Structure 1
């Protein structure tokens, strides 16, 4: 049984607050389009700086909790990382492409023009080939994930993405001259991982300076992260409000099309989570690693997907629309999966036997 702290009352009702923020975003985006348009233009390389600041608020508490001594020992517990890599790079891009073909070339073929269907499939492929970089820290925090292990999972994913994103997308789209927007990729990693990680490490060092025992250091960190955690949730709610405010006109103008696009994305999200979560359960991976492991593959690096879609197909293309819909469905889906993961915590072991110790015992 995990010794994780129970969810706060606010967190237990987080889905309600998110629903209210979605409604508020749609309403505010309709009432004040100029203001939201101005905020949307505060970006570089398809990375919006207002959203970036809000994401800092979201991920900072978990970055403070990262224990770098634990990071150095993660090679002794490789199972979670293996599941993450297999699901993200050997399953997710191809299942997303298959679902796109199934729904847009077959299930909804009578409702969608063939050229539009191809665009929608392209957008799904771009989402499928871009696993999450930033928001996964938020989801990991909500399931009481292992902060150090989550950092390693995200970091390894980012390294793989640098070399694998373009070839996988090119293979699935049949393109030979795919241009990866490196500025978006590198800027996002820097903004969403490196900067908050550096801030978290500096804060942790300041909090633990002069404390002699591990118990004292962990208690000091726990008190601080507990105090700043509300900023994380508020950052999430503000981000939801902004995203739906930015795209409110698209949603309200084409609700049926949005629903059609959302359906295969929903199936993909829940399906990928089920595969990763079941694999982690079968392999007896602890919940604090298993839950973030499954959530990483479910969530998407939407900044990268949006940037590539716009660069390849244009701002008003069907591919770009799919990546935007992916952003909009992600938060409600991820919150439902966070709730599921928290309810099933008892299914998993509390700890994983380190590989080195297991081998010694077997000898």
Structure 2
């Protein structure tokens, strides 16, 4: 089975520079940011409440700006003239779609029932059990649209594949989210927060792609491919700083809630953690069995496991209310997203030699 990448897809600008000290100890910085975020959120709740209220259709604008800083460096790598080469990775695309739409929502529904509806049921508020499970299902019913660019970049993923896969998932989401959630929740009609969905796609995909391609064309005209490589080395640290700042904000927004309800949040985290590792591992192994290159398998695993938490939170609030168990369950997904996905990045990076050994 051939794992080679078409020559025209992997360019000089796609090469990832060697890790510096900051990147090498990223796990430590993540842990510190979680602690700092919870602490600041508890000490200065008014400040974080003010930042958290700066949003449109449940999309937080400060976080959106930080995500721009995170994903634009990866988008600068993309040469749209090479996008047609993604067809060589049809197996990776098919596997990711299978995980996102045929496995993840149903596995989460099962895990939610097993842990929240059965194993942890005696320790949770009885009137919120169904709502907690609904929140978990909403969280798993839509794949992530923005942060996967960060995870793909950290795992040296093929950027053209990542962009194509995210765009394809966005199109499917428009048609499949409502009926899939309705099926799993047993509801005849679902209120889809279209403003959140469309605004997120615009903010996280369309606008950053336009900015990145304008920057790419300007740098190529001035300094060629060497200029792109030099630019990426300069802006990569800013991308990681934005990632850690986002982590502080997310945990700061929920600092009071984490301290007030640590047990419930821990219980809700269990099925989320299991489904992330299960779905990412399944996607990774299926790509290996299919003979896909590691630079495709890594983002495939990460896309297959990540969640569109903005849409999940908005849908939970619109269906069940702001103070519902469903809304809390989706918020737990927000808190877990960054540290857990970084652990998946570490796993796929550390197993690259095993993956390519046939």
Normalised by the length of structure 2, the TM-score is: 0.93
Which residue, 89, 95, 112 being the options, matches 2:101? 89
Distance 1:293 1:222 in 2: 25
Alignment match, 2:111: 99
Q: Distance in 1 between matches of 2:245 and 2:266?
A: 24
Question: How much has 1:4 moved relative to structure 2?
Answer: 5.2
- Higher mean C-alpha displacement, 3-12 vs 26-35: 3-12
Q: Equivalent residues in 2 for 1:257-336 (5 A)?
A: 257-336=264-343
Is contact 1:40–1:48 with CA below 8 Å preserved after alignment?
yes
Rounded Cα–Cα distance in structure 2 between residues aligned with 1:153 and 1:305? 20
Which digits, 9 at most, give the CA deviation of each residue in 1:121-176, with x for residues without a partner? 10010011011100000001101111111000100010010100010000000111
Instruction: State the Cα distance separating 1:218 from its structure 2 match.
Output: 3.0
Question: Which residue of structure 1 lines up, in the alignment, with residue 76 of structure 2?
Answer: 64
Task: Note the 1:133-152 alignment, pairs <5 A.
Answer: 133-152=145-164
Counterparts of 1:92-171 in structure 2, within 5 Å, are: 92-171=104-183
CA RMSD of aligned residues (A): 1.6
* CA distance in structure 1 between the aligned counterparts of 2:94 and 2:19, rounded to whole angstroms: 29
Aligned to 2:121, the other structure's residue is in SS state coil
Listed as ranges, the gaps of 5+ residues in structure 1 are 212-216, 351-363
Q: Distance in 1 between matches of 2:178 and 2:225?
A: 41
What does residue range 29-68 of structure 1 map to in structure 2 within 5 Å?
Answer: 29-68=41-80
Residue of structure 1 in register with 2:230 after alignment: 223
Question: Unpaired segments of 5 or more residues in structure 2?
Answer: 5-14
Check the 8 A contact 1:92/1:128 in 2, yes or no.
yes
Q: How many angstroms does 1:78 deviate by?
A: 0.7
Could you tell me the TM-score, scaled by structure 1's length? 0.92
Is the partner of 2:191 in helix, strand or coil? coil
Match of 2:206 among 186, 194, 214: 194
Measured in 2, the distance between the counterparts of 1:296 and 1:178 equals 24
| Structure 1 residue ranges, 4+ long, deviating more than 4 angstroms after superposition | 1-5
Q: Partners in 1 of 2:29 and 2:121 — Cα distance?
A: 37
